Amino acid sequence: MPQIIIHQEKAADRKALAAICPFGAIEIVGDKLEISAGCRMCRLCIKRGDGVFELAEDNVTTVDKSAWRGIAVIAEVEEGAVHPVTLELIGKAKELAAKVKHPVYALLIGSGVSGLAPLLAEYGADEVHVYDQPEFRYFRIEPYTAAAEEFIRKVRPSAILVGGTPAGRSLAPRLAARFRTGLTADCTKLDMSESTDLDQIRPAYGGNIMAHINTPRHRPQFATVRYKIFSIPPREKNPEARIVKAELPPEKLISGIEILKAELKERVRGIEDAEVIVAAGRGVKKPEDLAMLQELADLLDGKLASTRALVEAGWTDARCQIGLSGRTVKPKLIITCGVSGAIQFVAGMNGSERIVAINSDPEASIFNVAHIGICGDLYKIVPALIDEIKRSRKEDNR
């Protein structure tokens, strides 16, 4: 880790130097300056300290990037089927790999999953590595991590994409720790440089900036991506892909977790699967008014969703929240009502095919991403929409 060295002999006005740090991490102890644990490594003291402060870098580690080649996707199987996020990631991996002329790998772990390997090939994987053993029937972190680690050490992919699911969020950090490399969670965009450094883009500091995160000195590079962020690529017929079967030795299948019983949770159609969504924001004055938006959603055979503010107010369920701290959606139509358009919310829905925004503020950020913007009072516009839909349907039924 880099550290800041203080040249005490140059520190003439210690009070002025201590005042440089916006976090109060520079302290006067006796007749010396010291940096406390509150240091954020912002390096402002180095810029303004007139040579008193100096950044000392540790021995910089390097990696032979040419020894790591390809982009891998760790596939996830849910109830005997490939999770759609896997197909989305394979599509993105193909796009990234094309920029550096690398292959795309898919890692498939499970029990009785060999028959799913051709499907991954049809969506773009050049090689599918399959660990199909009875011990992988249920997701247990130790054997799954061992299988993924063996695959990575054998194939040596430059970048690895993992679905931002409960299983993926458990697996990715363990793998990153084993390889002493970086992991960026919940990426909203990915890009690949000529040097094979993966540009991992995600909102940071409460969504006020878009952080571009790189791992230039370590391999592999890990990133998790939520469902519905990317699109599923077209399915290919008769792909030329290599399917490699592998097997983990018994000693690596040992787990401290024993599955006593497993029950399928009743699947509820959530907002992620809806083709039409009506989203409520702060412009909704009281919880009773959500019934008006629910009526519009019902008429369109859609779902009612909301921003984080309404969830925190207790007006809507957390499962209905759109955004980085909620759900990511990609419907054919989304109608936002009284939504300002904060970056956290937009990141969760800007892949929608058609965005209609209703807001009384002409400067609202939501209009920057909307395909159709209606500036006006939602309490006048939504009832008018409802009446027009009802009238149109009556005429169609005549």
Residue 23 lies in a domain: yes
CATH for 21: 3.30.70.20
Residue-level pLDDT at 50: 92
Residue finishing a domain among 252, 281, 314: 252
Helix and strand element counts for the chain (H, E): 10, 21
CATH for 303: 3.40.50.1220
Q: Does 1 score more than 70 pLDDT?
A: no
Look at residue 291 and give its three-state secondary structure: helix
Q: How many CB atoms lie within 10 A of CB 381?
A: 17
Look at residue 138 and give its three-state secondary structure: coil
> CA-CA distance, 41 to 55, in Å (whole number)?
9
Peptide bond into 220 cis (omega under 30): yes
Residue finishing a domain among 19, 37, 56: 56
Q: With residue 110 as reference, give the H or E element that holds it.
A: strand 104-110
Is 43 found in the same domain as 168?
A: no
Is 313 found in the same domain as 245?
A: no
Is 193 found in the same domain as 78?
A: yes
Q: What is the pLDDT of residues 226-236, one digit of tens each?
A: 999 999 999 99
Is 94 found in the same domain as 51?
A: no
* CA dihedral angle for residue 391, residue 392, residue 394, residue 398, rounded to 10 degrees: 140
Residue-level pLDDT at 203: 80
290, 234 in Cβ contact below 8 A?
A: no
Residue-level pLDDT at 92: 98
Residue-level pLDDT at 206: 66
224, 164 in Cβ contact below 8 A?
A: yes
Is 24 found in the same domain as 81?
A: no
Is 361 found in the same domain as 216?
A: no
Q: How confident is the model at residue 207 (pLDDT cuts 50, 70, 90)?
A: low
Q: Does 381 score more than 90 pLDDT?
A: yes
Q: Which are the contacts of 216, defined by CB distance < 8 A and separation ≥ 6? A: 195, 197
Q: Does 209 score more than 80 pLDDT?
A: no
Q: How many CB atoms lie within 10 A of CB 339?
A: 31
Residue 262 lies in a domain: no
Report CA-CA distances (Å) from 301 to 276, 298, 311, 332: 7, 5, 22, 12
Return the residue matching tokens 């919940």: 186
Is 184 found in the same domain as 43?
A: no
Is 179 found in the same domain as 71?
A: yes
Look at residue 382 and give its three-state secondary structure: helix
Helix 290-299 vs helix 378-396: angle between axes, to the nearest 10 degrees?
Answer: 30
Residue 264 lies in a domain: no
**What secondary structure letter does DSSP report for 116?**
G
Residue-level pLDDT at 44: 93
Residue 176 lies in a domain: yes
Residue 340 lies in a domain: yes
> CA-CA distance, 306 to 309, in Å (whole number)?
8
Number of domains comprising the chain: 3
329, 272 in Cβ contact below 8 A?
A: yes
Q: What is the pLDDT of residues 155-172, one digit of tens each?
A: 999 999 999 999 999 999
Residue 183 lies in a domain: yes
Is 300 found in the same domain as 210?
A: no
Mean of the per-residue pLDDT values of the chain: 93
Name which of 14-23, 141-150, 205-214 the model is least confident about: 205-214
Is 210 found in the same domain as 338?
A: no
Is 108 found in the same domain as 51?
A: no
What residues make up the domain containing 285? 271-396
Is 73 found in the same domain as 209?
A: yes
Q: Does 176 score more than 90 pLDDT?
A: yes
**What secondary structure letter does DSSP report for 252?**
G
Tokens of 385: 């929409």
290, 315 in Cβ contact below 8 A?
A: yes
> CA-CA distance, 350 to 366, in Å (whole number)?
10
Q: Does 326 score more than 80 pLDDT?
A: yes
> CA-CA distance, 219 to 126, in Å (whole number)?
21
CATH for 207: 3.40.50.620
Q: What is the pLDDT of residues 53-82, one digit of tens each?
A: 999 876 667 899 999 999 999 999 998 999
- Per the model's pLDDT, the better-predicted residue between 146 and 2 turns out to be 146
In the predicted model, what is the mean pLDDT of residues 130-156? Answer: 97
Residue 261 lies in a domain: no
Name which of 33-37, 127-131, 141-145 the model is least confident about: 33-37
Beta-bridge mates of residue 77? 82
Go through 111-120 and write b for each residue having 16 or more CB atoms within 10 A of its CB, e for each that does not. eebeebbebb
Q: How confident is the model at residue 314 (pLDDT cuts 50, 70, 90)?
A: very high
Residue 34 lies in a domain: yes
Residue finishing a domain among 208, 225, 252: 252
Q: How many CB atoms lie within 10 A of CB 18?
A: 17
